Structure 1
Amino acid sequence: MVEQQEASGDRLTTRIGQAVMLLHAGDREEARNRFGALWSELGVEGDALHRCTLAHYLADTQDDPGDELAWDLRALTAAEALSDERPAEHPDALAVRAFSPSLHLNLAADYLKLQRPDPARVHLRRARAAADALVDDGYGGGVRAAIERLELRLRQQ
């Protein structure tokens, strides 16, 4: 049973990766369609890491800032559920910990787009506080730089 779940999870991860490639290639509509189909297939009771990943990328495919915010909130909720579901030493829990600054950064950016600077500041503080989980690599440096850029924009509000 566990082997079936792992194989199913690997196939889902592969399909998520294929949709991410479409998104990064600029085909937002097809990526949104595929992510949406995967979300429906996974369901609200599906694996929290998969829900977090799907919701995060679904947010990136939205045209409406309110819809983007809704998906980013789902991503954060799934990440928090993962922390509750799995022991802290589980590799996925560590991955989500490193993903947390980005999740809060995205929410801060969403709120700023919606001209709601107060909740933007709250999530930006959370992103900054969680940034210690980032390694000193391209991803970590990119997230830290994005936090600083958004802080500058918020100061100008």
Structure 2
Amino acid sequence: MADQDLIMKRVGEGIELSQRGDREAARGLFAEVWEEIGGERGDPFHRCALAHCMADVQDDVQDELLWDRRALEAADMVSDERAAAAGVSSVEGFYPSLYLNLGECYRKLGDYDQARQHLAAGRAAVDMLPDDGYGRMIRGGLQRLEERLCEPDQPADAEEFRPS
């Protein structure tokens, strides 16, 4: 577990870099960790967390979408036992945020049908979220995505929202 804790510690360091506005350094750190875990062959929990964070620091929406897809694909492979070993009660709690992020990508790309499908999937999974600050943030993000999709003439990059 020490190696796994080290991976998540480094992911946390990348998040801190991003929050301080150093997206380039965060991308670099996330890329290093991605290689260390074996990329697509790595532990699904690590891949999911890392890809989810890597998507947040992309400058190009196509790159963001690629990482968001990787995060969702990896989440589908994470068992509740593996999540529990990492201190997460259930993998089901990952999905609302993952679907929200994918929906935002598709909205920015102008693919409103895909955006609505991911919004619906996020809404269907939202009951797994706790009633806390994080849960309210994701619910609010889903609500804002729905509002933006009701006004598709809005610029694709209007009021970008990236929960993580």
With the length of structure 1 as denominator, give the TM-score of the two structures: 0.90
Q: Does 1:56 align with 2:52?
A: yes
Distance 2:120 2:138 in 1: 13
Distance 1:75 1:140 in 2: 19
C-alpha displacement of 1:88: 8.8
Q: Does 1:96 align with 2:96?
A: no
Distance 2:9 2:81 in 1: 25
Partner of 1:3: none
Partner of 2:64: 68
Task: Tell me if the contact between 2:96 and 2:122 (Cα under 8 Å) persists in the aligned partners.
Answer: yes
- Residue 135 of structure 1 aligns to a residue whose secondary structure is coil
Partner of 2:36: 41
Alignment partner of 2:75 out of 74, 79, 98: 79
- Segment drifting more, 139-148 vs 93-102: 93-102
Task: Tell me if the contact between 2:83 and 2:90 (Cα under 8 Å) persists in the aligned partners.
Answer: no
**Unpaired stretches in structure 2, ≥5 consecutive residues:** 153-164
Task: Tell me if the contact between 1:88 and 1:94 (Cα under 8 Å) persists in the aligned partners.
Answer: no
Alignment partner of 1:138 out of 133, 137, 140: 133
Partner of 1:107: 102
Task: Tell me if the contact between 1:20 and 1:57 (Cα under 8 Å) persists in the aligned partners.
Answer: yes
Distance 1:80 1:58 in 2: 18
C-alpha displacement of 1:33: 0.2
Alignment partner of 1:117 out of 91, 109, 112: 112
CA spacing shift, 1:58–1:89, aligned 2, 3 Å:
closer
Aligned length: 150
With the length of structure 2 as denominator, give the TM-score of the two structures: 0.86
C-alpha displacement of 1:47: 1.3
Whichever structure has more helix as a proportion of its residues is 1
Supply the AA of the counterpart residue of 2:6: R
Distance 1:156 1:37 in 2: 39
C-alpha displacement of 1:94: 3.6
Alignment partner of 2:143 out of 142, 148, 152: 148
How big is each residue's C-alpha offset from its partner over 1:45-90, in whole Å with a ceiling of 9 and x where there is no partner?
A: 221111001000110111110110000000000000114xx55994
List, as ranges, runs of 4+ consecutive aligned residues in structure 1 with deviation greater than 3 Å.
86-95
